[in-house]
Amino acid sequence: MFRPLKLSGTPLVVFAALASFTTYFCMYAFRKPFAAGLYEGDFFFGLELKTAFVIFQIFGYTLSKYLGVKVCSEATGLRRSLLIVSFILIAEFALILFGLVPGHWKVLALFLNGLPLGMVWGLVVKYLEGRKASDFLLAFLCCSFVLASGIVKDIGRWLMSSQGVPETWMPALTGAIFLPLLLVAVYALSRIPPPTEEDIASRTQRPAMNRKERGAFFRKFLPGLVAVLLFFFLITAFRDFRDNFEVNIFADLGFGEEEEGLLSKVAIWAAFGSLAGLACINFIKDHRRAFLATCLLMVLGMVVLGGSTLLYKAEKIEPFTWMVLTAVGAYVAYVPLNAIFFERLMAATQSIGTSVFMIQLSDAIGYSGSVVLQLYKDIGQGSLSYLSFYQGFSYLMAVLGILLVLFFLIYFLGQTRSTQPSSQ
């Protein structure tokens, strides 16, 4: 077993932030590059081929999230690092199959690709939760997937346009490029020391949770958690749709492949917006107030999402500006649920256990919503362009999102008390 490094204070925070960020950034090189392709002119049992690719990968990814409720919340020690590496290697093998197998069999390769990857997030978060610096660490970690989504797709587009790599081999090559760095990052992750007694006093203990303990926590806060899961169902579906079909939406707006770095520019703005908001919350020591601020930040994200769409429809802002603002709004609302929302909720309610349990369950419900949305778009609204569908869903997401966030905010404020930690 790798020995934990003897680090503390700022050096530990920097080391943990870089190790976790790099690990998850590299994971996206195995999950999202395929979305850089258009795969036009072919269908899979009535679905556009790219939609079928997206749905089958999400099927695997969603199943992985449900499995992760148990696997991630119970995994301890070195096993977490070994699981991460094993899952990545399985995903890369699946991408090689994506390039090798003929025709429609490729959808099964993407199902296999998604099957292990959904548990990586929970395994990485387990290294970071329950610390005084968890808010910063988790916010920084979230920037990894906000940035990586655009950057790895731009790398995929570059491989196809400048290097002549076929669409179906581009994902495997992109993953291979990032594999050595990922192995180094996972090794660094395994050297992070566990939370100190001071961390535990500030954030409560974060032991593994068995099935009985997970059920007891969910029943205790049932009304609020149901509303959280419904919100996550919607916001994940929205975020994943714009993520998977961002290339198509830009094409509908008149942007071509020759405009290099387009997706990366959007990702940088989205990462900056979401990190700036979460960074401010990191300075709030009282967990109840921090939870309130987190929910209000999510409401702000919904306002930006709906407001920017209204401005675009009124021709008050340019198409690229609108795409940036909808990305910022979506991620400002989405990122807290993957980072500090459950971390602060566990601390504010003085609940003993791992926040990874609820993070994995929320992700599982969220990606179930993504599958439903993809099917609805192609089967129920097949005549709509990606752009028109995205605009309509932006309005719906803004209205329902604000109502749901306000509901569970009021509920949980009634279940928590002020928890100002001791001076630091």
DSSP sequence for 4-65: PP---HHHHHHHHHHHHHHHHHHHHHHHSGGGG---TT-EETTEEHHHHHHHHHHHHHHHHH
* 298-304-306-312 Cα dihedral, nearest 10 degrees: -160
Average pLDDT over residues 195-215: 73
Mean pLDDT of 43-68: 84
Mean per-residue pLDDT for 233-245? 90
Over residues 292-300, mean pLDDT = 93
Q: What pLDDT is attached to residue 247?
A: 84
d(CA 281, CA 287): 10
Helices (H) and strands (E) in the chain, counts: 17, 2
pLDDT of residue 260: 67
* Beta carbons within 8 Å of 228's beta carbon, 6+ residues apart: 337, 341, 362, 408
Mean pLDDT, residues 167-186? 96
pLDDT above 90: percentage of residues in the chain: 43
Q: Report the C-alpha gap between 246 and 252 in whole angstroms.
A: 10
Comparing 13-22, 166-175, 267-276, 296-305, which segment has the lowest mean pLDDT?
267-276
Q: Token pair of 365, please?
A: 């419900």
Amino acid in position 387: L
User: Per-residue confidence at 203, pLDDT binned at 50, 70, 90?
Assistant: low
| pLDDT (mean) for 52-80 | 85
pLDDT at position 108 is 95
Q: What is the mean pLDDT of residues 165-193?
A: 94
Q: Looking at this protein, which amino acid is placed at residue 343?
A: E
Q: Give the pLDDT mean for 301-323.
A: 95
Confidence of residue 299 (pLDDT cuts 50, 70, 90): very high
Q: pTM score, two decimals?
A: 0.76
Structure tokens at 276: 């700036």
For residue 217, the model assigns a pLDDT of 84
Residue 7: exposure state from Cβ atoms within 10 A (0-12, 13-18, ≥19): middle
pLDDT of residue 98: 94
Mean pLDDT of the chain, nearest integer: 86
Identify the structural domains of the chain with CATH numbers, from first to last: 9-413 (1.20.1250.20)
User: In the prediction, which pLDDT does 423 show?
Assistant: 38
pLDDT at 373: 87
Distance from chain centroid for Cα 325: 18
